[in-house]
Amino acid sequence: MLTSEIIRRVKEIQIRTGRQVTDILAGEYMSVFKGGGVEFDEVRPYVPGDDIRTIDWNVTARGGQPFVKRFQEERQLSLMMVADVSASQDFGSQTRTKREITAELCAFLAFSAIHNDDKVGLLLFHGGIEQYIPPRKGQSHALRVIREVLAHGREDRGAPPQQEPVANRWTGMIDWWRQRGDLKRRQPSVPPPHRTTNISQAMDFLMTVRKRRGICFLISDFFDHDFERAVAAANRKHDVIAVLISDQRETTLPDVGLITLQDAETGAVRVVDTGSQGFRDGVAQAANQRIADLKKRLGSLGIDCIHVDTGENVVDPLIRFFRMRERRIRR
C-alpha cells in the first residue's frame, strides 16, 4: 500500500516538473536524443541526385522506370534510469535528500521521454539488483517510476524518515577515510548488501536485459570502486550518461566542534574535531579531488557527467547538459 506521504511527494514532483518539461526540457531532449534507426516508408520515382543505393530494383523492373525506397527516422527510443538506492542516498543536509533529488531527476527525464513518445524503464540497485521495471510508455508508468524510487527501502511505510541528530548526518564524505585505511574502529567486516553500492553489477545486469541500444542515465553518488570497466562496456552498447548526486556537506564541514561521523554504507564510525581548520580543509580537498577524478575518468571513457547538488535546481544542470550535447552534434 502507498502511504499518504509518498503519494503527496509524487504529486508534488509531478506538479513541479510538468510545466518545466513542456516549456523547456521536452524540446531540448528531442534535439539531443535522436531515433535509434530508420524504417521503410514508401517508394517514389527516382530523381537525379538520389543515392543509387536506395533504388528498389524489383519495383524498377516492374514499372519500367527507376524507383527509390524512402525511409523515415525511427523516432522511438528506450530510456533507462539506473538509480542508486544504497544507504548513502538517504543523506541530505538541505531540504531534500539525495534520494529525493534522484526521484525528481527521474521525473524530469521520464516526462520528457513520455512527451516525445519514448519508453521509460527503471533499474534500482545497491550492493545487488533491487528492482527492474522494463521500458514502457504512458504517464501512469512514468509516475510509477517516480513512486518506486521514493518508496524503496522505507521501513516505516506510515511516516517519513526521521531526522537524525546533526552529529550523525554527514555520512557520505567519509568514504575518503575508508580509502586511506584510517577507519578501523567498529567497521563491519561484511556490510549488508542493501547498504553498499555496486555499479558494476548494475551495468552488467543492464547489458543482460537490454539487448537493443538505448539511453541510460546512471544516477548515483558514486561511492564505489573499480566500476569503470563495466560502465565502459555498457557505453559501447548504449548511450550512458552519468549523473553525480552530491551534497554540500560532503565537501564543506561547518565548525561545530567534536562530532561523530558514520559511513552510511559500512557503518564505520570516527569522532572528529571540526573545530580544526586543517581538518576541514582536508575534507574539502579530498572530496573535491574525488569529484574531479571521477569526472576525468568518465570523460576518458567518452561518458558525459551531469553534476547535481541537493541544494540546487535539478533543471539547470539538465539544460546545461542538453545544450552542450546539442553544440557537439552540430559541429
CA separation for the pair 109, 80 (Å, rounded): 10
Residue 197 has pLDDT above 80, yes or no: yes
> Across-strand partners of 119?
78
Q: Are residues 216 and 235 in the same domain?
A: yes
CA distances in angstroms from 210 to 84, 160, 202, 216, 279, listed in the order given = 18, 34, 12, 10, 45
Q: Are residues 183 and 304 in the same domain?
A: yes
If one counts the domains in the chain, the total is: 2
Enclosing domain of residue 111? 4-33+80-330
CA separation for the pair 44, 281 (Å, rounded): 69
Q: Are residues 111 and 143 in the same domain?
A: yes
Coarse DSSP helix, strand, coil percentages of the chain, rounded to the nearest 5 percent: 45, 20, 35
* 304-309 and 269-273 strand pairing: unpaired
Q: Are residues 54 and 147 in the same domain?
A: no
Average pLDDT, integer, range 69-96: 83
Q: Are residues 49 and 131 in the same domain?
A: no
Q: Are residues 272 and 208 in the same domain?
A: yes
Residue 104's pLDDT is 87
* pLDDT per position as a tens digit, 88-146: 999 988 888 999 899 888 888 888 888 888 899 999 999 999 999 999 998 889 888 88
Last residue of a domain, one of 49, 74, 99: 74
Q: Are residues 57 and 129 in the same domain?
A: no
State the pTM of this model.
0.76
Q: Are residues 159 and 245 in the same domain?
A: yes
Last residue of a domain, one of 55, 74, 93: 74
Q: Are residues 50 and 65 in the same domain?
A: yes
Q: Are residues 324 and 236 in the same domain?
A: yes
Q: Are residues 218 and 99 in the same domain?
A: yes
Min mean pLDDT across 14-28, 38-52, 212-226 is at 14-28
Q: Are residues 68 and 101 in the same domain?
A: no
**Eight-class DSSP state of 127:** S
**93: CATH:** 3.40.50.410
Instruction: State what percent of residues in the chain have pLDDT above 90.
Output: 40
DSSP 88-115: GGG--SSSS-HHHHHHHHHHHHHHHHHH
CA separation for the pair 134, 154 (Å, rounded): 23
